[in-house]
Amino acid sequence: MVVLAASVLSKSGKVLVSRQFVDMTRIRIEGLLAAFPKLVGTGKQHTYVETENVRYVYQPIEALYLLLVTNKQSNILEDLETLRLLSKLVPEYCYTLDEEGICKNAFELIFAFDEVICLGHKENVTVAQVKQYCEMESHEEKLHKLVLQSKINETKDIMKRKASEIDKSKIDKNKGDKGGFMSMGSGRIETSFTDMSISSSGSGFGSGSGLGVTTDVDSFSTKSKGRQPSSATAPPKGLGMQLGKSQKTNQFLESLKAEGELIVEDVQPRAGQSRVVATAPTDPITLTAEEKLNVTLKRDGGISNFDVQGTLSLQILNPEDAHIQVQVETGGNPGILFKTHPNMSKELFANENILGLKDPNRPFPTGPAGDVAGVGLLKWRMQSADESMVPLTINCWPSVSGNETYVSIEYEASAMFDLRNVVISVPLPALREAPNVNQIDGEWRYDSRNSVLEWSIVLIDNSNRSGSMEFVVPPADSSVFFPISVRFSATSLYSDLKVANIIPLKGGGAPPKFSQRANLITENYEVV
């Protein structure tokens, strides 16, 4: 009473799955299975066929045959019971009873047949037991995984607590360091996005003497605002260097420093490069022209969006200088559309390029020296699809070699502008450590929290209109390194707007002194 093999065949005689339970050669089992279709007759009621040596017990299942090959001494009733159990298991593992379904789940069927028949003899099992045995679920394994996961979660909690303690200690240490620095002077630092330098002045170093420090900051600048001298023994305020008028901004930079981020505060200017210390306005009238650049470049070349929006603002310190008109030179660029403030005389500007109020007897608003916003006089906008108008183009070439990705990035700057404080931010895949930078024109910094590599160039002029950087990271898709964002500033404008003269409307005397500033900044500059 031995089952030699359990097989699944097609009606045409093609063998799909066959499991042998006794030792036999491949030639013999192939011969037995090849002889079966010839022995099956049509119109017969029984489901077994006997030969001189073996017995075929079979059951049709749709377009298939489920076949047991046994010796003639086996108990046919037990063979039929085994065949019935196998016929229930086949649909459990094969949702489609055709050749494709059987071949796709062949190994699952073989494992199930092994649970039913062992060494040719039927095991006393049910369909549910066979499925349970094949799934091999283990309560001990589940318990082990739960214990392991709980240990991992506990370790993460401990790591977070340790990191929090380290951050607090760094913040306390930085507060102590900044307090000692600020006790040397009492200058108050404020920021402005319209200037390119930092100036801090302190008192208490001698009668009539002050300390002036001029440094560059990435994309903004600060201006010192004078205060009454404080005592040398006065304790520090604890706030350190304030960036702008917002305390939240100061706290944000403090937290960045506490987490190990590098905040650039001192950059040496190039030799021969003129620098202007941004102090509180001393001229009675200050005019500031600012342009914001929105550019979207394609990674394969070309330009998707190019938009320049500019404003001209006026700041007057003394009320007696408020009755004026401003004469400007627009540069004659036909692609720029100018719009005056609703209170300005449009005819006066259109005919003579003079900005003046509709009511000549009405003065311009005045403000304190610290009010850097001023009064808006003129707005303009320029849009273009000409790629030659782009001040800075970026090319990124990722290439996978073995288990590494080599990324080459190059920039090309137009001769129209000298760009300052250029920062090119390249997104990276999640890394355990900083990327390996092989070559760079400038400096780099890796922001591990945001997974961004920042490439910094202090100044791009005629000496370095092009540059490149190459770094290596683990294998990654090329789309990971986009979009690339760019920040920079310049002191030239697309509109080439200049203030030609200040025309006083009252007094009839000499025109008051005035100063003009120009600043080009990026608002949204990306390579997608």
Does 90 reside within a domain?
yes
Does 201 reside within a domain?
no
Does 525 reside within a domain?
no
Domain that holds residue 125: 3-135
Q: Give the pLDDT confidence of 253-303 residue by residue, as tens digits.
A: 666 666 555 555 544 444 333 333 444 556 788 989 999 999 999 988 889
> What pLDDT shows up at residue 263?
58
Q: How far is the first Cα of the chain from the last one, in angstroms, to the nearest whole number?
A: 74
How many of the other CB atoms lie within 10 Å of CB of 460? Answer: 26
What tokens appear for 452 in the block?
């961004």
Q: Which carries the bigger pLDDT value, residue 205 or residue 395?
A: 395
Q: Which carries the bigger pLDDT value, residue 224 or residue 525?
A: 525
Q: Give the pLDDT confidence of 45-88 residue by residue, as tens digits.
A: 568 888 888 899 988 888 888 999 998 888 888 888 888 899 88
Q: Residue 417's closest CA among 338, 512, 488, 467?
A: 488
Give how far the C-alpha of residue 351 lies from the chain's centroid of Cα atoms, to the nearest Å. 49
Residue 209: phi and psi, rounded to 5, are -105, 150
Q: What CATH number has the domain bearing residue 45?
A: 3.30.450.60
Q: Which carries the bigger pLDDT value, residue 523 or residue 168?
A: 523
> What pLDDT shows up at residue 509?
67
List Cβ neighbours of 277 (8 Å cut-off, separation of 6 or more). Answer: 197, 199, 212, 214
What percent of the chain clears pLDDT 70, i.e. is strictly above it? 77
> How high does pLDDT run on average in the chain?
79
Q: Which carries the bigger pLDDT value, residue 375 or residue 367?
A: 375
Residue 390 has pLDDT above 90, yes or no: yes
Does 289 reside within a domain?
no
> What pLDDT shows up at residue 187?
40
Contact indicator for 179, 161 with CB cutoff of 8 Å: no
Does 308 reside within a domain?
no
Q: What is the CA radius of gyration of the chain?
A: 41
Per DSSP, 235 falls in state P
Residue 230 has pLDDT above 80, yes or no: no
Please give the average per-residue pLDDT across 418-446, as a whole number.
92
**E strand map for 228-366:** 285-297, 303-316, 324-329, 336-340, 354-355
Dist CA 222 CA 220 (whole Å): 7
Q: Residue 417's closest CA among 308, 526, 327?
A: 308
Does 62 reside within a domain?
yes
Please give the average per-residue pLDDT across 458-469, as a whole number.
93
Contact indicator for 428, 238 with CB cutoff of 8 Å: no
Dist CA 63 CA 66 (whole Å): 10
> What pLDDT shows up at residue 235?
43
Cα-Cα-Cα-Cα dihedral sign, residues 450, 452, 457, 462: negative
> What pLDDT shows up at residue 73?
84
Is the preceding omega at residue 284 within 30 degrees of 0, hence cis? no
Residue 411 has pLDDT above 50, yes or no: yes
Residue 398: phi and psi, rounded to 5, are -80, 140
> What pLDDT shows up at residue 258?
61
Does 71 reside within a domain?
yes
Q: CB-hemisphere CA count at 13 Å for 273? A: 16
Domain count for the chain, please give it.
1
Instruction: Please tell me the total number of residues recorded for the chain in this structure.
Output: 528
Contact indicator for 80, 98 with CB cutoff of 8 Å: no
DSSP string, 395-451: EEEEEEETTEEEEEEEEEE-TT--EEEEEEEEE----SS--EEEEESSEEEEETTTT
How many of the other CB atoms lie within 10 Å of CB of 503? Answer: 14
Q: Give the pLDDT confidence of 170-199 residue by residue, as tens digits.
A: 888 877 665 544 434 434 433 433 343 333
Does 410 reside within a domain?
no
Contact indicator for 322, 386 with CB cutoff of 8 Å: no
